[in-house]
């Protein structure tokens, strides 16, 4: 089971400098519209081919637009041996709507 992290929980952690890896699995055009600072962009279709770029021991929060694609990737990562995974519930859209009114939405 993948832990679901709310945008408020992630923001609290980032504010106190408790920084997990934020893995953004959206497409490049989506990241051109908006993204979280210091996130690592790896489109969903490329993640499994790029596993060696990720640390399976590092706490990782997987994000996408609404939290659906990121949930799928988190499950795939878990099956590949990653243990410290979270899915951002509501994705970047929830972040923009609940926390950052200046962030572009789509």
CATH of the domain spanning 3-98, picked from 1.20.1560.10, 3.40.50.1220, 3.40.250.10, 3.20.20.70: 3.40.250.10
CA-based torsion, 60, 53, 78, 67: positive or negative = positive
Q: Look at residue 29 in the predicted model and tell me its pLDDT.
A: 98
Q: Name the residue among 81, 82, 80, 62 with its Cα closest to residue 72.
A: 62
Kindly tell me if the per-residue pLDDT of 4 is higher than 90. yes
User: Tokens 């990562």 belong to which residue?
Assistant: 77
In this predicted model, what pLDDT tens digit does every residue of 35-76 receive, in sequence order?
999 999 999 999 999 999 999 999 999 999 999 999 999 999
Q: Look at residue 8 in the predicted model and tell me its pLDDT.
A: 98
In this predicted model, what pLDDT tens digit does every residue of 6-23 receive, in sequence order?
999 999 999 998 889 999
Q: Look at residue 17 in the predicted model and tell me its pLDDT.
A: 87
CA-based torsion, 42, 43, 44, 46: positive or negative = negative
- pTM (two decimals): 0.96
Contact 14, 95 (CB under 8 A): no
Q: Look at residue 48 in the predicted model and tell me its pLDDT.
A: 96
């Amino acid at each position: 089971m993948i832990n679901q992290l709310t945008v408020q929980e992630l923001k609290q952690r980032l504010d106190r400098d408790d920084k997990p890896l934020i893995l953004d699995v959206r497409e490049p055009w989506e990241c051109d519209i908006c993204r979280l600072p210091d996130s690592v962009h790896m489109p969903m279709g490329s993640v499994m081919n790029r596993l060696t770029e990720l640390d399976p021991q590092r706490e990782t929060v997987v994000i996408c637009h609404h939290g659906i694609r990121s949930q799928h990737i988190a499950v795939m990562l878990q099956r590949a041996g990653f243990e410290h995974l979270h899915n951002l519930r509501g994705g970047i859209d929830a972040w923009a709507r609940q926390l950052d009114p200046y962030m572009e939405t789509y």
